[in-house]
């Protein structure tokens, strides 16, 4: 639970309302007017990067359900692919894919204070999500 004033609003017109929540993505305190999503322990402010991350996560959870459904049927997790017995696992979503739908890629990961490129196996979906989650 946040305390103090809302940390959102513009430089010239900062919000003067009392903060009610702390954003799970940017850790800023925000008021009711600057709430994008609040339920249980989850709280997301209206800042564009935070809204984008929240919406991406909701889409990703739906994607993972579809991946699991296809894998349980013995199919490659890629939609519309009919390859059976997929043998390669995505490092992020943990879905199993045929060789055509997964690639070894360099992915920048934070280790302490340093970013390190690591070689990971990624499906196209997880590779596309990097733009939302990696800071530039």
Tokens encoding 42: 């989850």
The pLDDT value recorded for residue 67 is 96
State whether 23 and 59 are in the same domain: no
The pLDDT value recorded for residue 34 is 94
Domains in the chain, number: 2
The pLDDT value recorded for residue 1 is 61
The pLDDT value recorded for residue 131 is 87
| pLDDT tens for each residue of 87-114 | 999 999 999 999 999 999 998 888 889 9
State whether 42 and 52 are in the same domain: no
Place of tokens 């979503």: 93
The pLDDT value recorded for residue 76 is 96
In a domain, 18, yes or no: yes
The pLDDT value recorded for residue 37 is 94
Place of tokens 């699991």: 68
State whether 55 and 39 are in the same domain: no
User: Helix-strand-coil percent breakdown of the chain, rounded to 5?
Assistant: 30, 30, 40
Instruction: Calculate the CA 2 to chain-centre distance.
Output: 23
The pLDDT value recorded for residue 135 is 66
Range of the domain at 29: 1-46
Q: For residues 77 and 97, give the distance between their C-alpha atoms in angstroms, rounded to a whole number.
A: 5
In a domain, 25, yes or no: yes
State whether 107 and 52 are in the same domain: yes
State whether 39 and 54 are in the same domain: no
DSSP-derived secondary structure letter, 94: -
The pLDDT value recorded for residue 110 is 82
State whether 40 and 57 are in the same domain: no
State whether 42 and 106 are in the same domain: no
Positions in the chain whose pLDDT score sits under 50: none
């Amino acid at each position: 639970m946040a305390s103090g004033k809302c940390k959102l609003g513009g430089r010239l017109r900062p919000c003067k309302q009392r903060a009610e929540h702390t954003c799970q993505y940017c850790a800023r305190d925000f008021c009711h007017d600057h709430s994008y999503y609040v339920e249980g322990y989850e709280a997301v402010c209206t800042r564009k990067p935070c809204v984008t991350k929240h919406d991406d996560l909701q889409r990703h959870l739906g994607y993972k359900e579809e991946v699991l459904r296809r894998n349980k049927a013995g199919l490659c997790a890629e939609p519309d692919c009919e390859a059976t017995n997929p043998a390669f696992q995505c490092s992020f979503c943990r879905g199993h894919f045929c060789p055509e739908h997964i690639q070894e890629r360099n992915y920048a990961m934070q280790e302490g204070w340093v970013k390190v490129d690591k070689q990971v196996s990624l499906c196209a979906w997880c590779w596309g999500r990097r733009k939302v989650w990696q800071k530039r």
